[in-house]
Amino acid sequence: MSAYLIAITILTLIYVLLALGLTLQFGLTGLINFGHVGFFAIGAYTSALLTLNGWPVGVGIVAAAVAAMLPALPIGYISLRLRDDYFAIVTLAFSEVVRIVVTNAREWTSGTQGLPGIARLYASLNGAASEWAVLGTILAVTLLAIWMITRIARSPFGRLIQAIRDNEVAVKALGKDPAWFKIQVLAVGAALAGIAGAFYAHYITYIVPDQFVPLVTFYAWMAITLGGASRISGAVVGSAILMVLLEGSRFVHDFLPMISDSAMASVRIGVVGLLLILCIVWRPQGLTGKRGDA
Amino acid sequence: MSLDIANITKNFGGMRVLDGVSLSVPTGSLFGLIGPNGAGKSTLFAAISGFQKQETGEVRLDGTRIDALTPHARARAGLVRTFQVPREFGHLTVRENLCAAAPNQTGESLLGLFFRPARVAREEAEIAAEAEEIMQRLRLTQVADQPARLLSGGQKKLLELGRALMLKPRFILLDEPFAGVNPVLIAEIAERIRDLNATGIGFLIIEHDLEALTRLTPYIAVLDRGRIIAEGAPDAVLADVQVREAYLGGAV
């Protein structure tokens, strides 16, 4: 049981890293990034390929952050002049392009067969000790990310990105270029997603393109919507709730044996969807939010 | 040393909204721009501040051409505008609205933020002091920590003016500072504008409320259907036959 809980906690922390990027991008800056999973996939594949070619895992994780950040620059440059809804479409398309590229670049990624045998973190430790060490490492990185985003949110930089969210034209009128701030915000969120992807690859040890479908992006969106989009604690609380719902609904099956296994997968997503709707109706600012939050 | 606009033309589709507008606004002046609805006043402001690209014409600030610059570059050059409908940062407090407008902040770069914290803290203290002074001057101290979206229309106009002041501009373009403001606050805003003008900041003001504007500005120009049809002292301009026709449809 404890192994199961550790596994769930690790996956939750990976979602926290993804959700924190969206808190920064959407909650604070107002950017609608519907392609978050693209940066996650780039991180996962970068670290997996490097370590499969003999590089140490540490190098893989750092490279994952950098590789995920790189496309943030051209995407920002090309599309930040677009209206919000078009930006959402461009990012969604980007993440699908990433998925299709890793599906088809077979000589590198083995396409739909996926990459098995990715190195585990702390592989030299035995069973439980290794699990705890992985959990500790991801927890430390997540706490560092929370500290960093909190620091950004409370700084003059954070003040300005919230000003951009509230009224971009006024920011221009005050002599500041919103585009550069948005590109930086996009890059920071992308780096976090890249790191999350690397941890995911090294934890699951097997990646295929099907793990990087847009649903992952929308799980992260559900997390910040449930938790509260403009609060950092919202990313943490929301990810935890999401994971409890997704995993918890597994056990519902014991009480509802008449539902088939394949139908159960849909029921679980249905439950999350219903909760999301209830949350929007009764608590649009999320669980951690205050009335009047952006 | 002035704001000079020469021969600005702007079309919206087949419609000529500005038709060769030229204006010369001396440094430190208090200059009013009036005109009936649809005359092109806000479009002229947009062209001067860079939010709309003009077809032809030049904009010079202290002799330097600025008409190819982005809106934010023009603001940094010392020409700051406000908006007809206030564009406050609604979820930030009044104080934060002002601080966000301060130029050249180390803390607005991610590197500066994480690697030069002492410098950021020192700048923040300076910026906070400036914001405090501006809030006092504009009588916004009581609402300093309120979210800006909760302010009244007149307070939002003052807040926009305050944000512009944080840039220490040479010229401020005010787009209808009295629109949607109650009469008591109109007198108050006019008083603040006069005070600021006395410190050397030039104002070009668009206004619908003729009475309030002519009481404030010693010099006005009249824009009608994209052309300047008169300029000079308010009394003389308002007595002008063309101006009366533009406003009253020729009934006089």
Q: What residues does each domain of chain A span?
A: 2-212
Q: Are B227 and B241 in contact (CB under 8 A)?
A: no
Q: What is the pLDDT of residue A283?
A: 86
Q: Does residue B183 sit in helix, strand or coil? A: helix
Geometric angle at alpha carbon B135, from B134 and B139, rounded to 5°: 120
pLDDT per residue over A8-35, tens digit each?
A: 999 999 999 999 999 999 999 999 999 9
Among chain B residues, the shortest Cα distance to A176 is held by: B72
Whole-angstrom Cα distance, residue B45 to residue B35? 13
Task: Answer yes or no: is pLDDT of B22 > 80.
Answer: yes
pLDDT above 70 for B181: yes
Asked whether the beta carbons of residue A157 and residue B76 sit closer than 8 angstroms, the reply is no
Contact A92, A214 (CB under 8 A): yes
CB A254 within 8 A of CB A57: no
Please state, in angstroms and rounded to a whole number, the distance separating the CA atoms of residues B90 and B102.
Answer: 17
For residues A41 and A98, is the Cβ–Cβ distance under 8 A?
yes
> How many contacts does A have with B, using Cβ atoms within 8 A?
102
A151, A155, A185, best to mutate vs chain B, most B CBs in 10 Å:
A155
CA distance B64 to B68: 11
Instruction: Give me the architecture of the B2-88+152-248 domain, per CATH.
Output: 3-Layer(aba) Sandwich (3.40)
Whether the CB of A154 is below 8 Å from some CB of chain B: the reply is no
CB-neighbour burial class of residue A65 (10 A; exposed 0-12, middle 13-18, buried 19+): buried
d(CA A213, CA A256): 29
* Residue among A159, A162, A290 with most chain B CBs within 10 A, to mutate: A159
Measured between alpha carbons, how far is residue A124 from residues A54, A129, A130, A133, B85 in Å?
16, 10, 8, 11, 64
Q: What is the pLDDT of residues B25-79, one digit of tens each?
A: 998 899 999 888 888 899 999 999 999 988 899 999 988 999 999 999 999 999 9
Average pLDDT, chain A: 91
- Whole-number Å distance between alpha carbons of B63 and A153: 41
Alpha-carbon span A32 to A83, nearest angstrom: 10
Residue A122: what pLDDT? 87
Q: Are A148 and A21 a contacting pair, CB within 8 Å?
A: no
List the single range of A272-281, B8-17, B215-224, B225-234 with lowest mean pLDDT: A272-281
Classify residue B12 as exposed, middle or buried by CB count within 10 Å of its CB (0-12, 13-18, 19+): exposed
DSSP β-bridge partners for residue B9: B19, B56
Matching residue, tokens 């940066």: A39
**Mean pLDDT calculated for residue range A46-67:** 95
Using CB atoms and an 8 Å cut-off, which of residues 182-241 of chain B contact chain A? Answer: none
Contact B107 A172 (CB under 8 A): no
A96 touches B: beta carbon within 8 Å: no
pLDDT score of B252: 44
Give Dmax over CA atoms of chain B in angstroms: 69
Q: Are B181 and B165 in contact (CB under 8 A)?
A: no
Q: Per residue in A142-192, pLDDT tens?
A: 999 999 999 999 999 999 999 999 999 999 999 999 999 999 999 999 999
DSSP type of residue A293: -
Give B199's contacts (C-beta < 8 A, 6+ positions apart).
none
Gap from B238 CA to chain A (nearest CA, Å): 32
pTM for this structure? 0.91
Rounded mean pLDDT of chain B?
90
Length of chain B: 252
Q: Is the pLDDT of residue A274 over 90?
A: no
Suggest the residue from B84, B91, B94, B114 to mutate for an interface test with chain A (most A CBs closer than 10 A): B91
Residue B166 has pLDDT above 90, yes or no: yes
Distance between CA B252 and CA B248 in Å, rounded?
7
Quote the tokens at residue B105: 């902040």
Strand partners, B221: B33, B231
CB B207 within 8 A of CB B213: yes
Question: Contacts of residue A293 in chain B, CB cutoff 8 Å?
Answer: 91
Domain ranges for chain B: 2-88+152-248, 90-150
- What is the DSSP track for B33-57? EE--TTSSHHHHHHHHHTSS--SEE
pLDDT digits (tens, 9 = 90+) for B81-130: 999 899 999 999 999 999 999 999 999 999 999 999 999 999 999 999 99
Neighbour tally for B82: CB within 10 Å:
26
Task: Please tell me the distance from the alpha carbon of residue A6 to that of residue A136, in angstroms, as a whole number.
Answer: 10
pLDDT per residue over A62-115, tens digit each?
999 999 999 988 888 877 777 778 899 999 999 999 999 999 998 888 888 999
How many C-alpha atoms does A188 have within 13 Å on its Cβ side? 28
Asked if A241 contacts A191 with a C-beta cutoff of 8 angstroms, the reply is no
Provide the pLDDT confidence category of residue B155 given band limits of 50, 70 and 90: very high
A156/B96 touch (CB, cutoff 8 Å), yes or no: no
pLDDT band at B214 (very low <50, low <70, confident <90, very high): confident
Q: Does A152 touch chain B (CB under 8 A)?
A: yes
Yes or no: say if A165 and A28 are a contact pair by the CB < 8 Å rule: yes
pLDDT exceeds cutoff 50 at A238: yes
Tokens of A256: 């509802």
Q: pLDDT confidence of A134, banded at 50, 70, 90?
A: very high
What pLDDT, on a 0 to 100 scale, did the predictor assign at position A67?
97
Per-residue burial over B47-80, b = 16 or more CB atoms within 10 Å of its CB, e = otherwise: bbbbbbebeebebebeeeebbebebbebbbbbbb
Identify the CA nearest to B157 among candidates B175, B134, B143: B175
What band does B239 get if pLDDT is binned at 50, 70 and 90?
confident
Q: Summarize pLDDT for A213-237 with one digit per residue, the tens.
A: 999 999 999 999 999 998 999 999 9
* Average pLDDT, integer, range B234-246: 84
Cα distances (angstroms) measured from residue A23 to each of A19, A29, A34: 6, 8, 13
- Determine, for residues A293 and B91 on separate chains, whether the beta-carbon distance falls below 8 Å: yes
* Residues forming a β-bridge with B12: B15
Q: Provide the 10 A C-beta neighbour count for residue A25.
A: 24
3-state secondary structure of B14: coil
> What is the Cα Rg of chain A in Å?
19
Which residues are B21's β-sheet partners? Answer: B8
